[in-house]
Structure 1
Amino acid sequence: MVYKGIYHLFYQYNPNGSVWGNIVWAHATSKDLVNWELQPVALSAAEPNMDINGAWSGSATILPDGKPVILYTGVDSQNQQVQNVAVPKNLSDPYLIEWTKPPQNPIMSPTIQNQINSSSFRDPSTGWLGPDNVWRVVVGSKIGKQGVAILYKSKDFVNWVKDKKPLHSAHGNGMWECPAFYPVSVGNRNSVDTSKSSNDLNVKYVLKVSLDDIKHDYYTVGSYNYHTDVYTPNRGSIQNGFSGLRYDYGKFYASKSFYDGEMNRRVLWGWVNESSSVADDVKKGWSGVMVRLNYVHNFSTSFVVFCWFRN
């Protein structure tokens, strides 16, 4: 995200080792998306009712008053995956060093009533504001082998209600991690802010999901009706099984994106898993790299920024 002219990158980090485990939110800042300064950990795994067993992936949203808000998945003391909110402690700090977790957390939880799978409920998307002034986000899940993008709505970004139907689902491809939903312009090189694109005929929508079963990112392009919250993919997009469109055909997974209002573009980050063994990763002291993609009209430019779990 961008806040007061500063780019903020949050990423999954193990402060106690070189490989996955003890996950928290690390934080780095930049003025150009090339040169980065490491900041203190933004979100630690600390609270029994919300994230004691891990602060997992999520997204940041900039509210209309300019205030940034983080939604993230926590694993509570019962090993249930729940969704939490975090806000900056000091809005005058452009580097957003400190974050707090409001007492309302968790704000989305699996229950007997909503029948959400408590071990497959994670990675809330960036929020978007509809013409009815109601916020929407999607959270990844599954029902058996059916991948699901669960839709939640809120008037204040704190109190969320699960919608009666998902934004989209598809059979035969398993758990949908890191769902993302955003608009792209048709016929020009400008990107679009999701909350400012309702009823625009020159906009198409992208629904991206990370398929946990095969560790690849697939996406659809289609149309979205704000009034009914119905997303309709174009033909050729992922529907069932593992066929469809992919961001990348190498090792590229669990991507997240944000709208860069400074440059009128969408920037996407993805995790590139290496082929080295766990023993090798421990020996060298780091593992994993991040790839950045800039959306430009109907093609992307990319380069690698190295971020890693390290001792």
Structure 2
Amino acid sequence: MRLTPYRFSLRVAPLLIAALSGAHIAAASCAAPSADGTPQWRPALHYTPQRNWMNDPNGLVYDNGSYHLFYQYNPLGNDWGNMSWGHATSTDLVHWREQPVAIHANANEEIFSGSIVADARNTSGLGAPGNTPLVALYTSVYKEGSGHAPGTQAQSLAYSLDHGATWRPYAHNPVLTLDPESKQFRDPKVSWYAPGGYWLMTTVVADAHVVKLYRSGDLIHWTFLSDFTLPGIPHEGALWEMPDLVPLALDGDPRRIKWVMIVNVNPWSIAGGSGSMYFVGDFDGRTFTPDRVAPAGSDPAQFRWVDHGADFYAAGTFSGAPGARPVVIAWMSNWDYAAKAPTTPWRGAMTLPRELALKTIDGEPRLVIAPTAAFDAWADRGRPATHLADLTVTSTLTELPVATRGAVQRITLWLAPRSAVRAGLVVRRSADGAIGTKIVYDTVTWTLTLDRSQSGEANFSDAFSKQHIVNLPLEHGRLKLEIVVDRGSVEVFANGGRAALTDLIFPPRDADRVAVFSEHGSATFDGLTVTQLAGSDDDPACASRQAAGNSCCLPDRQHGDGRL
């Protein structure tokens, strides 16, 4: 029996929305320093709201020329609670503009994670001639007095007829619930399954480690297809969340389609706490069958991970995005310490959007993940860049020239460890060397490590893990690296996306130096380029603030005309 809760309004007075959400403020703001703020860690390249708590990305959809990023948001404070859907838009996946809160928590329910699709065929009947509805499926978490037991989770629907600006609740929510109802049934991700001509939903019973698959012809009435789980659950106590089932052409061949099931787990990830694992397999329209499953009780290293850093969670793909490769974005934090992150007046940010591909590596299909082509094109377009001649370093650390100093930059190079036991870079390094984040390759263990043990502020949580490691062989004796450094994060992409590591860091604002090093032997750094990505009129933070009538931030580099 489907219960019909009261009708509620998702429209809030514009002045209140602006006050709560910082509407139309740059996603990565260059806010002026304040007594209680931490602008030294405000992202320049990554989306974050002007203020308040945010976590999982939701409702990722491309519509009417814009990418829409909805996300879990607390309009009322800088801690988790009052879960609503925040909203931001972008035309290029580089520059983001914060929009008014899209769907608010109310007296009967909080609005947990979900997804959005453009119903171009109007299968739902919620559109009008020439007006494609955006349809959101999300998790309602019911409160006392709602007609459901407090804490019950079920899937509800809302729709928009103005490209996501305002949302209307479906009159007969929820559209999908379990029998008996559950407090762990959540995170619907919907896509169009073209071979069957129907809508496909993945959702989870989080504490049972089950992904449940459903089909629908109209986005309203759903029929159960199958469950995906693992025999002899290998990580008792973890939750499965935010599933996403994505078809990819293996090695770029459209005749060889494989399906990737992304399952976000918390805790128990490869880096500790929360993280994003994946399985590659086949989907026949009803059942997902993985090619490879680690034996029960296996170490996390036996599973596949989208990112091996500590701060990549709730990963999901954009529906309807143009281009051959799916675009994924994740919450750049970790449930182990997210509530204690030392930033204000906001807490939480998104990773860079990334493109996914599936390639045969060591005889198996593996995900490769790298920044979008749009980001790389923007970063290459007229930015201040320092190109260094090939450097050879022998058993020492060498600081790079003053022109390479900065807090927001992209570093690209080929690292050839040669005779060195360990070699790599240090970013966001202080003048005395006491502070710095290391990217280290070890030739004995064939591992790449992102080491934030001396990266700055770290005593806010004992769970702020220090080192994150991925096994990665060299290619012809070299390692290709792309490193994106922001005011409060480091993202490392190795060997064209074969491995990625994402970590938050909290360095002092004057830790802006770059160094290279080798230990116990010689290493060569080929094609080393450091590109400065903040301080120009077209950087993602400053351009958006100028468009909103606000002054721009100062450059982050020490050389030039100032710093934050």
* TM class by smaller structure: 0.7 to 0.9
The Cα offsets for residues 42-100 of structure 1, whole Å up to 9 and x where unpaired, read as 1111262xxx2x21111112334253211111101221011111110x3xx34x21011
Query: Please, which of 234, 257, 271 is the counterpart of residue 291 of structure 2?
Result: 234
- Please say if residues 34 and 305 of structure 1, whose CA atoms lie closer than 8 Å, have aligned partners that are also in contact: no
Structure 2 distance, partners of 1:5, 1:305, is 27
Question: Does 1:55 pair with 2:111?
Answer: yes
- Please say if residues 238 and 244 of structure 1, whose CA atoms lie closer than 8 Å, have aligned partners that are also in contact: yes
Structure 1 distance, partners of 2:118, 2:247, is 16
In the TM superposition, residue 258 of structure 1 has moved relative to its aligned partner by 1.8
Structure 2 distance, partners of 1:6, 1:247, is 26
Higher relative contact order (CA 8 A, sep 6+): 2
Alignment of 1:178-257 (within 5 A): 178-188=242-252, 201-214=255-268, 215-226=274-285, 229-235=286-292, 237=293, 240-241=296-297, 242=300, 243-251=302-310, 252-257=312-317
Structure-1 residue corresponding to 2:499: none
Check 1:305–1:206 CA distance in 2 against 1; reply closer, same or farther (3 A cut): farther
Question: Does 1:300 pair with 2:369?
Answer: yes
Structure-2 residue corresponding to 1:13: 73
Question: Does 1:100 pair with 2:162?
Answer: no
In the TM superposition, residue 284 of structure 1 has moved relative to its aligned partner by 2.1
In the TM superposition, residue 239 of structure 1 has moved relative to its aligned partner by 6.3
Structure 1 distance, partners of 2:340, 2:328, is 30
In the TM superposition, residue 259 of structure 1 has moved relative to its aligned partner by 4.4
Check 1:276–1:161 CA distance in 2 against 1; reply closer, same or farther (3 A cut): closer
Q: Which has the higher helix share?
A: 2
Structure 1 distance, partners of 2:93, 2:318, is 13
Is the radius of gyration larger for structure 1 or structure 2? 2
Check 1:206–1:240 CA distance in 2 against 1; reply closer, same or farther (3 A cut): farther
Query: Please, which of 144, 151, 166 is the counterpart of residue 227 of structure 2?
Result: 166
Q: Percent identity?
A: 30
Alignment of 1:31-70 (within 5 A): 31-46=91-106, 48=108, 52=109, 54-65=110-121, 66-70=132-136
In the TM superposition, residue 276 of structure 1 has moved relative to its aligned partner by 6.5
- Please say if residues 25 and 44 of structure 1, whose CA atoms lie closer than 8 Å, have aligned partners that are also in contact: yes
- Please say if residues 14 and 23 of structure 1, whose CA atoms lie closer than 8 Å, have aligned partners that are also in contact: yes
In the TM superposition, residue 260 of structure 1 has moved relative to its aligned partner by 5.0
Check 1:155–1:244 CA distance in 2 against 1; reply closer, same or farther (3 A cut): same
Query: Please, which of 62, 74, 79 is the counterpart of residue 140 of structure 2?
Result: 74
SS in 2 for 1:127: strand
The Cα offsets for residues 204-259 of structure 1, whole Å up to 9 and x where unpaired, read as 00001011232121101111112xx1222112x45645431001111211111124
- Please say if residues 135 and 157 of structure 1, whose CA atoms lie closer than 8 Å, have aligned partners that are also in contact: yes
Question: Does 1:288 pair with 2:348?
Answer: yes
- Please say if residues 2 and 8 of structure 1, whose CA atoms lie closer than 8 Å, have aligned partners that are also in contact: yes
- Please say if residues 223 and 233 of structure 1, whose CA atoms lie closer than 8 Å, have aligned partners that are also in contact: yes
- Please say if residues 290 and 304 of structure 1, whose CA atoms lie closer than 8 Å, have aligned partners that are also in contact: no
Structure 1 distance, partners of 2:156, 2:327, is 24
Structure 2 distance, partners of 1:38, 1:203, is 36
Q: Give ranges in structure 1 of 5+ residues lacking alignment.
A: 190-199
The Cα offsets for residues 9-62 of structure 1, whole Å up to 9 and x where unpaired, read as 1111111111211110001111111111111111111262xxx2x211111123
The one-letter code of the counterpart of 2:118 is I
Structure-2 residue corresponding to 1:124: 188
- Please say if residues 71 and 86 of structure 1, whose CA atoms lie closer than 8 Å, have aligned partners that are also in contact: yes
In the TM superposition, residue 135 of structure 1 has moved relative to its aligned partner by 2.2
- Please say if residues 260 and 267 of structure 1, whose CA atoms lie closer than 8 Å, have aligned partners that are also in contact: no
Q: Which has the higher strand share?
A: 1
In the TM superposition, residue 296 of structure 1 has moved relative to its aligned partner by 4.4
Check 1:279–1:248 CA distance in 2 against 1; reply closer, same or farther (3 A cut): closer
Check 1:155–1:277 CA distance in 2 against 1; reply closer, same or farther (3 A cut): closer
- Please say if residues 29 and 36 of structure 1, whose CA atoms lie closer than 8 Å, have aligned partners that are also in contact: yes
- Please say if residues 157 and 170 of structure 2, whose CA atoms lie closer than 8 Å, have aligned partners that are also in contact: yes
Query: Structure 1 stretch 296-305 or stretch 240-249: which is displaced more?
Result: 296-305
Structure 1 distance, partners of 2:357, 2:234, is 32
The Cα offsets for residues 110-131 of structure 1, whole Å up to 9 and x where unpaired, read as 322xxx6x12111111233353
Check 1:119–1:222 CA distance in 2 against 1; reply closer, same or farther (3 A cut): same
Structure 2 distance, partners of 1:294, 1:122, is 26
In the TM superposition, residue 148 of structure 1 has moved relative to its aligned partner by 0.6
- Please say if residues 115 and 136 of structure 2, whose CA atoms lie closer than 8 Å, have aligned partners that are also in contact: yes
> Normalised by the size of structure 1, how large is the TM-score?
0.80
Structure 2 distance, partners of 1:2, 1:257, is 10
Structure 1 distance, partners of 2:295, 2:155, is 27
Q: How many residues align?
A: 278
Root-mean-square deviation (CA, aligned residues, Å) is: 2.7
Query: Structure 1 stretch 175-184 or stretch 283-292: which is displaced more?
Result: 283-292
The one-letter code of the counterpart of 1:180 is D
- Please say if residues 248 and 357 of structure 2, whose CA atoms lie closer than 8 Å, have aligned partners that are also in contact: no
The one-letter code of the counterpart of 2:262 is K
